[in-house]
Chain A
Amino acid sequence: MKQLEDFREEIEQCVKCGACRAHCPVFGAEKHEGRVARGKVALAGAVLDGEIDLEEKVLEDMSQCLLCGSCGAQCPNKVPTDEIVAAARRRIAEQKGLSSFGKGVAAVLGRPKLMDLLAKTGGKFSSLLFKKLPEDSGLRLRFPAPFLESDRTLPPIAGKPFRDRVPEVIEGREGEPTVAFFTGCGINYMYPAIGEALLAALKFVGVTVIIPKDQGCCGLPAVSAGAQETVEKLAELNRIALTRRPVDYVVTACASCNAGIGKIYADFGGEYLPLSERIADIFVFLARHGLPEKLAALPRAAKRKKVTYHDPCHLRTQGITREPREILKALPQVDFVEMEEAGTCCGLGGTYSVYHYDTSKKIGARKAGYIGASGAELVATDCPGCIMQLQDSINHAGGKARVVHVLELLMEALPDLSKGDKSE
C-alpha cells in the first residue's frame, strides 16, 4: 500500500483554501483547524518535511478523521485527505505500534474463525449480555462491552450468523448472470435479515448467487486503525473466496464493504483488479435490472409510510446517490421525503466512534435533528454501520424514527412484484 511519502504531490496540491471546512463532519462538531482536512494535510506535509515529529497532538489530530472522504470529494483540487490520513495512521502504527484497540481490531478481524467463535458465543449469551429496555423508551438494547460507552445502543448479535443460515450456492434462472454476495460483518453477525432481503431481491431477478463461507471482513476497520498487515491479509482471503468461481458481479449491501473492496483493493492493483471492477452496490445492480420501473408499475398502497434516506459516505463519495432513492420512491408502501443534509456523515466512521464517541454523538445528534425535522417514520439507508449509528443518535435525541435498510422495505413489496411479474 502507498506510504505517506507517496502522497507528497497530493499534499502539495492543497492550496489551503479552506473549502474542506464546509464538508468535514468532525470539524463541524469540534471547530478546530487540526480536525479538518486542510490542517491534517498541513501536518502530514510537516511530518514529511521533518518539521514536526509524530508527537501526541499529531496522533490525536490524525485519529480525528472519519475517513468519510467528504473533503476530497468536494476539494477543488481533489486532494485525497482520507488516503493521506490512512497513510499517516499506517506510519504511526509502524513507528509507535498499534493502539490497544487497534491491536484488538487486527487480532479479531484478521482471524475470521476467531471472529465467528466470538460472535456465536456472544449470540448465545445475548440475552444475558444485553439489557432489554422498555419498548416505549425508543431505545433498543444496551451492550456493555470494553471500549464501548455504556449509553450506546446496539443491535443484538445474531444467534446464528447469516452465512451459517444459507447455502453457499443458490441457483438462479438459466441465462441470468452469476453474482457473489459479499455479506460483510454487519449483515453476517448483526443484521441477517438484510442478507435475507438481499437474497429475496436477487431471487426475484433470477441470478445465481454464491455466498462463499470463507469470506472475511472487507478490511476497512483495519485501514481505519492503521493495521496494514491485517488489511493485506483480509484482501487476499477475500480475493480467493470471491473469485474461486467465475462471477459477473460481486454485490454488497453495505456501503463500507463496497468501498473497501472497490477502492482499497483497487489500490493493490494486479490480481485484485478483476475483483474490484466487479463490485456493485445492490441498488446499482437492481436498477440496472429495471427494478425501479417494475416497482413503479405496482399500484400505490392505501397505507403508506413516510420514509427518508440517509446517504452513506462510502456510496455518496462514489457518486451513488440516485439508485437507492429511485427504488425507495418507486416502493408502493413508501412516501419518500428528502431530509436536509441527507449526504452528511452520520458520525460512525468505523473505529472512529469507539475512539471518539463524544464527537461521534455530536455529529449524530445533528443528523438526528434533520431526521426529526423531516417528519419521517423510517430512515432508510444502505449500510449496516450507518443503521447502527443513526438508531443510536435518534435514541439519544428521544426521536421516534426507526432505521432500516432499503432492502427491508423492498422485501415487503417483493411478493406483489412477483405476482405481477410476467418475466417468470
Chain B
Amino acid sequence: MLDSRIINALREVVGKDNVTTDKADLLCYSYDATQQKFMPEVVVHPSTSEQISRIMKLANAEKIPVFPRGAGSGFTGGSLPTGGGMVVTTERMDHILEIDQDNLVAVVEPGVVTEQFQKEVEKVGLFYPPDPASLKFSTLGGNVAECAGGPRCVKYGVTKDYILGLEIVTPTGDIITTGGSTMKGVVGLDLTKLMCGSEGTLGIITKIVIKLLPLPEAKKTMLVLFDSIDGAAQAVSTIVRNKIIPATLEFMDGRTIDCVRQATDLQVPEGARAVLIIEVDGDREFLDKQAQRIAEIIKPLGVVETRIAETPAESEALWQIRRSVSASLRKVNPDKFNEDICVPRSKLPDMIRKIDQIADRHGVPIVNFGHAGDGNIHVNIMIDKKIPGELEKAERAIEEVFKGALELGGTMSGEHGVGIAKAAYIPLELTEETAAYMKKIKKALDPNNILNPGKIFLDN
C-alpha cells in the first residue's frame, strides 16, 4: 500500500481535492470497456504537464506503478491499473488551446473529447477525420495512445496520420516535445510515430499538435444489400480498382443482418446476406455522379438492393442499420468479446469464411461487421459467461481467429491495441527478435518499469 507520505506528496503537487484514496473512487477507476476490474491505490487528477512531471518523478523515485487514463473506454485494458499503484487521469486536461486556420493545425490537451474537437474545427470549416466508434466520449489523448481508427480511415487514414507533434512527460518525469507544427520535419528520430499506439507505456501525452484538413463540402450515403459476403468483398475491390476511394466502406455479414432484423423493425430483405454502407464525400456536384458510378460498377456482384440517400435524414436512416448492431447483439448472447482483426481487403471473404468455420467448430455464435475498406473486421464472439465451459470455448475461438488473420497476411489488432487482452497472443504476430527490440526501447525509456507496466508484453 502507498503510505501517507506519498499521498501527501501527491496532494502537494495537485491539491488535496485532486487526490483520492476513497474506496468508492478507487472502484470508479478500476474498470474500462473490457469489464475487467483492478483496484488502484490512489487516483490523481492533474491539470498541467508540470504536475504530471512531478508525479512521474515521485513515482520513479519511489518505484510506484503509474497507469495513465483518458476516458477508460478501451477494449483491451490499456488503462487498467493492473498493478495497484496510481491512476493518473487526464480527463480534466480538456482544453482546445489553439486552432490555427492559416496553417490548418490545432493544439489540444489530451482530455479533449474527440467529437467535441471535431465540432469545434468544423465550425471554422476544418476537418479532423479519425472517427472511432467511441468518438462521443473517448479522448484525443487516448486516441493517440491507442492509435484509434474508425470508418473514415479507408480514405483518410488513422489517428497517427494526423499527429504532427506531441508534448509528453517521460517515465522519468522529463517534459519533452516531439515533432512540431510543420507539415514537414525530419530532424532526429520520429518519436511522434513511436508514441502513437504505444498504449501509454512510453510517456504520458500532455499536448497534441494535430493536422487538419478542409471540411469536405458534402457527403452522400448509400446502402447496398448483397446476396453473399463474396459479392460485398468483390464490390470493395471493384470500387477501389476503379480509382474511387469512398470516405467509408462499412460492412455487416449475414449473421449481423439477422441480429438487426430480429432486434429492430428496420427493413432488410430476407435475401440479403451482406451489407455495405458506402459514403462518398467532397464537392457536392460530383457526389451524385460518383454514387451512380459506384452503383453501376457493383451491380453485377449479387446486389439485392441499392438505397441512395438524398437528404441528411435519409442518410441517418441508412446509418441507423449500422448503429443498431451493437444493441441487437445482446439478443444473441449476453457477453461479447469484441476483437478487431485486420486483413488485406481482398481477403475479407476468406476471413469471414474462416470465422464461420471457427464458429461452427466451437459452437459459439460469431457476428462480424466492420470497416471493409481497410479490411478491419470487428469479430464479436457472443457467449453467456454464466454457462460453464463457454468462456473456454470463446478463448479457443479467439486464438484461432487471430491465427486465421495472420495466415492471410493480416494482424490481430487493427485499432484496439494489445493492452492486457491480447498480450498473451503477441508471439503469434511478432518474432522474438522484434519483440525484444521493442522491449529494449521500453527498458531504455522506463528503466524502473513504472509506466503502465503489464501492458502489451506479459513480462513487461
Contact = CB atoms under 8 A, between A and B. Distances in A.
Nearest to A12: B334
A58 B23 CA distance: 9
A43 B24 contact: yes
B28 A16 contact: no
Interface residues of B, number: 33
Interface string B23-64: 111011111111100000000010000000000000000000
Given A17-B73, A21-B71, A31-B91, A78 B327 contact: yes
A16 B22 contact: no
Interface in A73-94: 76-78
Nearest to B134: A18
Given A18-B137, A31-B92, A77-B327, A52 B31 contact: no
A76 to B, nearest CB: 5
Nearest to A19: B137
A42 B136 contact: no
Nearest to B20: A57
A17 B137 CA distance: 9
Contact of A18 (B25, B72, B111, B330): B72
Contact of B134 (A16, A17, A43, A55): A17
B115 interface: yes
B383 interface: no
A343 interface: no
Contacts of B115: 22
Interface residues of A, number: 27
Contacts of B94: 31
Residue with the highest number of chain B CB atoms closer than 10 Å, among A16, A39, A46, A55: A16
A21 B136 CA distance: 8
Contact of B25 (A19, A34, A78): A34
A61 interface: yes
A372 to B, nearest CB: 15
Interface centre among A12, A21, A39 (most CB of B within 10 A): A21
27 contacts: A13-B330, A13-B334, A15-B33, A16-B32, A16-B35, A16-B72, A18-B71, A18-B72, A18-B137, A19-B136, A21-B71, A21-B73, A21-B137, A22-B115, A22-B136, A31-B92, A32-B91, A34-B28, A39-B27, A43-B28, A55-B22, A55-B23, A57-B22, A57-B23, A58-B24, A61-B24, A77-B327
Interface of B: 22-25, 27-35, 45, 71-73, 89, 91-92, 94, 111, 113, 115, 134, 136-138, 326-327, 330, 334, 336
Given A13-B334, A42-B31, A43-B24, 18 more contacts: A12-B334, A13-B330, A15-B33, A16-B32, A16-B35, A18-B32, A18-B72, A19-B134, A22-B137, A32-B45, A39-B27, A51-B27, A55-B22, A55-B24, A61-B28, A76-B326, A76-B327, A77-B327
